[in-house]
Amino acid sequence: MRLLEERIVQDGLVLGSGVLKVDTFLNHQIDPQLMEEMAIEWKKRLEGVPVTKIVTIESSGIAPALMLAKLYGVEMVFARKQKSITMDDSVYTADVYSFTKQVSRTVTISKQFLSSDDHVVLVDDFLANGEAALGLCDVVEQAGASVSAIAIVIEKSFQPGRKKLDDRNYHVESLARIETLEMDHIEFIHE
């Protein structure tokens, strides 16, 4: 998606070690117009894919996931990184390792929000090693629901996440695929 690639080049900051900081439009401050354009692009790419629910992990995936849910007219559910005292033990969980935070967390979704009738599109801000996406897939599949697609904002294609998802036959739609991420150069994959 050209608009997203332009924002990454213009406002993204490469911190080294494969880390891209995009807090001016996605991870801290949110550009609602860009979120809407991304949702429109995903919906176009996912034409014909059954969708009854959008699922993401808090917090950076919430804005794009909510925009996509609005376009589909379905509910958006986010997996919590920390179990709230208001949640009982009726939950689906998966352990997820965060590349950027270098910690492992158990993500949780209440059983009341996913059912075996659901066809889910997962949304995540980054795809690097695939741990978050695979954790969300696990949670969705624990409910007996199906993963219709995985919608990624920014894919770091030089890391193994995409291959892990492809090896499990998940439908992945990444809006920006980065092939090279260096301090003075970002190169994208165009299909």
Annotated binding-site positions for 5-phospho-alpha-D-ribose 1-diphosphate:
128-132
Find, among 186, 191, 158, the residue nearest to 11 by Cα. 186
- Classify residue 184 by burial, with Cβ atoms within 10 Å: 0-12, 13-18, 19+: exposed
- How far is the C-alpha of 5 from the C-alpha of 120, rounded, in Å? 26
Which DSSP string do the residues of 47-79 spell out, in sequence order? TT---SEEEEETTTTHHHHHHHHHHHT-EEEEE
Binding-site positions for xanthine read: 20, 27, 156
Tokens 């959008």 — which residue? 54
Find, among 12, 64, 3, 1, the residue nearest to 186 by Cα. 12
Binding-site positions read: 20, 27, 128-132, 156
Cβ neighbours for 102, distance < 8 A, ≥ 6 positions apart: none
